[in-house]
Amino acid sequence: MLDFRIDTFLAVCECMNYTKAAETLNITQPAVSQHIRWLEQQYGVQLFLYEGKRLFLTPQGQMLKTAAITLKHDQLHLQRCLTESAQQLSDLNFGVTPTVGMYLLPKPLANYHRQFPEANVKVRMTNTRALCKALDNGELDFAIVEGYFHKTDYDSLLYKTEPYLAVCASTHTFKAPPHCLSDLLGETILVREVGSGNREILQRTLSRQNLSLEDFCCQMELGDMNLLKELLLEDCGITFLYEAAVKQELQQGLVRQIHLSDFVESHDISFIWRKNSMFAQRYQELHQLLSPVEPALP
C-alpha cells in the first residue's frame, strides 16, 4: 500500500497550493506541510519551491509525481486483479478518442469479444486530454489516443499511422481554387473542442505555416464528431479529419479531399499507459489483441 502522505503530495501537485490541498483532503494545512516535510526528509530532496508567492515542483518533485501517479494507478488495478476470477482477468476498462472509437476500434474489439466472450468491456470515448486525466486518476487502465501526450508520463506503442486530410463537401464551391493552406483562410472552418487531439494536431500543422485557427474568417467549434461531419455534409464549412473518419463519404462521393501543395500530413495514433507500470506486459499483449484489422489484399 502507498504511504498516505503520497496522497497529500499528489493533492498539492494538483492544487499547487497547501491551503487548497488541505481543503481537498479535509485535513489541516499544518498537517499538509508536515506530510511534505516527511517525504522530503525520506527522499533527501526538496519537492516544492516558491518563486514569489507561486508554488512550483522541483525536478525531483516532478520525478516523484510521475512515479507516484503510476504506483497509485497500479495499486488500484492490482486490487481489482486480486479480487477477480481468472475469467474476469480478460475484462477491459479503457478509453479512446472519437476517431479511434468510431472508425478504428469496432472490428478489433469485435474480434476480442469473439475470443473472450465472457469478458466485461468498458470503453470511454472522449478527447485526449480527458483520457490522460482519467488514466492518472486510475479510472482507466490504458487509452488509445490521436492527440499529443507527455511522453515523460506515459509509455506508448504505435497503434496506427493515419493520413490527415483537408476535406469539404463535394458540392462546395471555392471563390478561387485553393493551392495552399493560406488559400483556405476565407472559409468557415469546422473544428473540435479544446482538448481534442484532432484540434491540437490542426493547430500545430497551422503553426508550422505561421497560421492559426483565428486566421480563418469564421469558426464553428463542435464537441461531437457526428455533428461536425453532418455540418460538413451540409456544406457549412471545410475541416481537417483523419482519412478513416471520412473514408466512406469519400468513396460515396459525398466529400472530397482538398489537395494542397503545403499540406501532406499523417499522424501516429498511440496506445498509451502510465509510465513504468508493473502491468506493462499485459498492456503490450492488449495492444496486439486490439490492433486495427487491415483489409486483406485481393
CATH of the domain at 178: 3.40.190.10
Report helix, strand or coil for 187.
Answer: coil
Q: What angle do CA 104, 109, 112 make, to 5 degrees?
A: 145
| Mean pLDDT rounded to a whole number for the chain | 90
CATH of the domain at 35: 1.10.10.10
User: Parallel, antiparallel, or unpaired: how do β-strands 188-192 and 218-222 relate?
Assistant: parallel
Residue range(s) defining the domain that contains residue 189: 161-267
pLDDT tens for each residue of 184-230:
999 999 999 998 888 989 999 999 999 999 999 999 999 999 999 99
pLDDT tens for each residue of 111-150:
999 999 989 999 999 999 999 999 988 889 999 999 889 9
**CA-CA distance, 53 to 10, in Å (whole number)?**
20
Note whether residue 119 is domain-resident.
no
Q: How confident is the model at residue 287 (pLDDT cuts 50, 70, 90)?
A: very high
pLDDT tens for each residue of 145-169:
998 899 989 999 999 999 999 999 9
Number of domains in the chain: 2
Predicted pLDDT at 71: 85
Which of the listed residues 78, 103, 132 is the one where a domain comes to its end? 78
Note whether residue 151 is domain-resident.
no
pLDDT tens for each residue of 10-52:
999 989 999 999 999 999 999 999 999 999 998 999 999 988 8
Q: How confident is the model at residue 293 (pLDDT cuts 50, 70, 90)?
A: low
Q: pTM for the full model? A: 0.76
